[in-house]
Copies of this chain bind each other. A is one copy, B any other.
Amino acid sequence: MTSEFDIESRSAAKHRAILAAAEKVFLKSGYDGTSMDEIAALAGVSKQTVYKHFADKERLFSEIILGTTNKIDAVVKQVADKLTDTQDLERDLGLLGREFITTLMNPNLLRLRRLVIATAERMPKVSTAWYEQGFERVLATLASCFQRLTEQRLLMVDDPLLAANHFAGLLLWIPVNQAMFTGGTQIASKVELDRYADAGVRTFLAAYGVKLKPGARRPK
């Protein structure tokens, strides 16, 4: 006898299998090149099952890209939280910078990003949702972090969201655009990414760091 729980969990497993298959096909073939047939075949389910879970290709695409925003925000939250009790801001903001850039420069994420931009005029709702729930949410997470550091008198930030924008722009402008424009044929190496992160953090601290008088001690 099949319990309700089994049905529930089998359905959830199929849902996950369809999403995993769809992500692979979208990354390989782009939005227009992806068919529900291919997704069904790769997931090992019928096309009817795919449509039972996702009304159309756009919803499936939307669920995949919004799923990535949750993961990214979780990573940024985790590294930003480590800064709360920092004893060495330069060092720990440097670590945040390196983890931030590594997370956002994930090659599959960059391909999804390219797909979102490519389809943004046709499906502005999907891409705007990615912008608001991904891009802007990560900036808000950084902004709260900078706000706390300002309250601890470790940073001097008037407008935390603007400072978060500046942080992201300083670190990501080059490597993200390079990856976007070269179609993934040129992706910065880990060493280069660390260099971009370190330089961005240095410039950020030169602009937003607390300037201590020579000999002064940082407030505890």
CA distance A166 to B172 in the complex (A): 9
Task: Kindly state whether residue A185 has any CB partner on chain B within 8 Å.
Answer: yes
Within 8 A of B (CB), among A165-215: 165-166, 168-174, 177-178, 180-186, 199-200, 203-204, 206-208
Cross-chain contact A118 with B118 (CB below 8 angstroms): yes
Residues of B within 8 A of A61 (CB): none
Residues of B within 8 A of A180 (CB): 117, 120
Task: Kindly state whether residue A128 has any CB partner on chain B within 8 Å.
Answer: yes
A131 and B182 contact, Cβ closer than 8 Å, known pairs A166-B170, A169-B173, A199-B162: yes
A181 and B120 contact, Cβ closer than 8 Å, known pairs A170-B170, A173-B173: yes
CA distance A165 to B127 in the complex (A): 26
A128 and B173 contact, Cβ closer than 8 Å, known pairs A181-B135, A203-B166: no
Task: Kindly state whether residue A24 has any CB partner on chain B within 8 Å.
Answer: no
CA distance A128 to B182 in the complex (A): 5
Specify which of B121, B130, B170, B184 is in contact with A114 (CB 8 Å cutoff).
Answer: B121
Task: Kindly state whether residue A8 has any CB partner on chain B within 8 Å.
Answer: no
Within 8 A of B (CB), among A109-156: 111, 114, 116-118, 120-124, 127-128, 130-131, 135
- CB nearest neighbor in B for A115: B118
Residues of B within 8 A of A117 (CB): 114, 117-118, 180-181
CA distance A30 to B124 in the complex (A): 15
CA distance A162 to B207 in the complex (A): 15
Task: Kindly state whether residue A85 has any CB partner on chain B within 8 Å.
Answer: no
3 A-B pairs closest in CB distance:
A169-B173, A120-B183, A118-B118
